[in-house]
Amino acid sequence: MTFIAVNDITDFQPTQAFVGQEIELTAVVDPQTATNKTIEWSMVSGNATIRRDGTRFFLTPHTSEGIKIRATIRNGKQE
């Protein structure tokens, strides 16, 4: 099997959230044929909770102030 690296993560959704409302975090991995396309999400700053359910991630904001999150793909490139 040939390893296909991830070039980019784009089309992050949603771009807005409401305090106390849980939303699912999604994005598009390029290329679609990448070997590992599982995105992991983490908090950079802000007051929110990220919950993982299998390979799906959910965000619940706790304040109306800005939140910054990071999308990462482990083993997304050949080493």
Domain boundaries, the chain: 8-72
pLDDT for 77 equals 58
Q: What is the DSSP letter of 31?
A: S
pLDDT for 79 equals 46
Run of H or E including 25: strand 23-30
CA 22 to chain centre: 14
Six token digits for residue 44:
């950079």
Q: What is the pLDDT along the chain (79 residues), one digit of tens a residue?
A: 788 989 999 999 998 899 999 999 999 999 999 998 889 999 999 999 999 999 899 999 999 988 999 999 877 655 4
**Phi, psi (rounded to 5 degrees) for 22:** -75, 130
pTM for the model: 0.83
pLDDT for 21 equals 96
Six token digits for residue 55:
């390979």
For the CA atoms of 24, 49, 37, 77, the dihedral, rounded to the nearest 10 degrees, stands at 150
